[in-house]
Amino acid sequence: MTSLVIDIPNLHDGSLTGLDFASDRVTARMTDWTGKPYVLEMRGVERFHVAVESNNLIGWLEIIQGKRPRKRLLRRLFGTPNPRWPDYFQSEVEDEAERADRIVSGEAALVVLHGNFTVFFVGLCESAILTDG
């Protein structure tokens, strides 16, 4: 039986065991350090970036919603606005601010799985639900 996990458990030294991709959904399977399985389902995925290394020990999981995300996490997904291209710079800055505002308002969630030394994945989606099972 699966159940909704209200608080994010301590996944430190756990493992990412699988990623499944659908048209607008990503499902991540992971375990904590004891081997207990968890499933993270992200729906309404707009953008998703994966950079898993061979040593896939998890540092921690963040689901950012209802508060302002760090710019560096959004820029990992969408790139850094480049002031050398003034025609695009202002619109990229406005797009970045709009994404951050949607996360703050709860319309979107930024999901980040940190490794011990890097970010394994980051995704912008409508909702993210972590369940045990």
**From residue 29, how far is each of 4, 82, 86, 133 by CA, in Å?**
14, 35, 42, 10
What confidence tier does 36 reach under pLDDT thresholds 50, 70, 90? very high
Could you tell me which residues come within 8 angstroms of residue 96 by beta carbon, excluding any fewer than 6 positions away?
Answer: 71, 74, 75, 78, 81
Res 86: pLDDT: 77
Q: What is the mean pLDDT of residues 84-101?
A: 85
- Is the pTM higher than 0.85? yes
Q: What is the mean pLDDT of residues 107-121?
A: 91
pLDDT above 90 as % of the chain: 66
Instruction: Kindly report the backbone phi and psi dihedral angles of residue 103, in degrees, each rounded to the nearest multiple of 5, phi listed first.
Output: -70, -45
Domain boundary assignment for the chain: 3-132
Could you tell me which residues come within 8 angstroms of residue 29 by beta carbon, excluding any fewer than 6 positions away?
Answer: 16, 17, 18, 19, 20, 37, 38, 39, 40
Instruction: Look at 13-27, 35-49, 55-69, 82-96 and tell me which has the smallest mean pLDDT.
Output: 82-96
